[in-house]
Amino acid sequence: MRSAPQGAAPRLGALLDDTKTYACGYWTSDRPGYTVADARRDRLNLIARSLRLAPDARLLDLGCGWGTLALYAAERHKTLVTAVTADPEQAAHVRQTAREKGLEDRIDVRCGTFRDLTDSAFDAVAAVARGEHGDREPGVAYADFAAALHRKVRPGGRVLVQQLGPVPVRRAVALLDGSGLEVRSVESLREHYARTVAAWHRTLERYGDAFAQLAGPETAREWQLHLAGAAGEFGDGPGGVDQILCTRPDAASESDGDAESDADGVLRA
């Protein structure tokens, strides 16, 4: 899949969804009037069920973006959220929105990456639409990302990764398993992603002039081509998006010593 155009993603998210969400929906209905916003809500519900979110449970949201999951978990499930993003603009937005919703005591926003976070023993960890970046950060292999997920979650806790990108799902599963996590399920979201991208493309077509004013005509055109191509690739082409659910075994069942990873720590596709 061709990489998304850079620099205009925040403005694209603001145009396509009032939550600034640029992530896969979960389509549970074909009824008239069921929209991408409904699919986004059902996706959040799926994540909450998968991670067993509960009042005062500690959730780590890695790559939180504009805070959709963090705000939902804190508001709907009364979860205590640590939201991590490398983007200062996103961090400021999540903090401001949390204050406006009266959730500042439930959402702790950190500006950085998983490498900067020293906290651990989270009840749940979400890396939604972020798993594909584990091997793209300078000097960081996906194996290191998987090992970090294992360190951050408590024994008995749950980890959810949405896997899209250059790391084949079998390789991702092997690396997560090699970190000491137990892979419990893998669900393909390919059709859901295709429908989501198609919906964004229709909206962008409808409001193309407005987006062109925000991002410029050339960027608007690049996004139109990108979304049209992505809809085809994930609809009938080879593109894949997968949700991987893991648990960290209880301490008594974990083997002594550190979990093994690749001998040289280098990701191999």
Return averaged pLDDT per consecutive 10 residues of the chain, 269 residues in all. 49 56 82 89 94 98 93 97 94 96 97 90 89 46 91 97 82 94 92 83 80 80 75 60 93 49 31
The tokens 């969804």 sit on which residue?
17
Tell me how many domains the chain contains: 1
64 within domain boundaries: yes
Q: DSSP string covering 96-113, please? A: HHHHHTT-TTTEEEEES-
Question: pLDDT at position 9, please?
Answer: 52
The set of residues, in sequence order, having a beta carbon less than 8 Å from that of 199 and lying 6+ positions away, is 25, 35, 36, 39
153 within domain boundaries: yes
CA distances to 68, 113, 226 from 37, rounded to whole Å, are 12, 28, 21
210 within domain boundaries: no
In whole angstroms, what is the distance from residue 243 CA to residue 188 CA?
A: 6
Question: pLDDT at position 134, please?
Answer: 47
The torsion region of residue 7 among left (phi > 0), alpha (psi -120 to 50) and beta comes to left
9 within domain boundaries: no
Instruction: Report whether 98 contacts 107 (CB < 8 A).
Output: yes
Q: DSSP string covering 136-166, please? A: TSTT--HHHHHHHHHHHEEEEEEEEEEEESS
The set of residues, in sequence order, having a beta carbon less than 8 Å from that of 125 and lying 6+ positions away, is 59, 60, 62, 149, 152, 153, 157, 158, 159, 160
205 within domain boundaries: no
Q: In CATH, what number is assigned to the domain containing residue 100? A: 3.40.50.150
231 within domain boundaries: no
In whole angstroms, what is the distance from residue 142 CA to residue 258 CA?
A: 17
Question: pLDDT at position 138, please?
Answer: 35
The pairing of strands 122-127 and 153-164 is parallel
This prediction has a pTM of 0.80
Which range marks the domain in which residue 66 is found? Answer: 25-191+239-250
- What's the sign of the alpha-carbon dihedral 140, 244, 113, 253? negative
The tokens 């960890």 sit on which residue?
125
53 within domain boundaries: yes
196 within domain boundaries: no
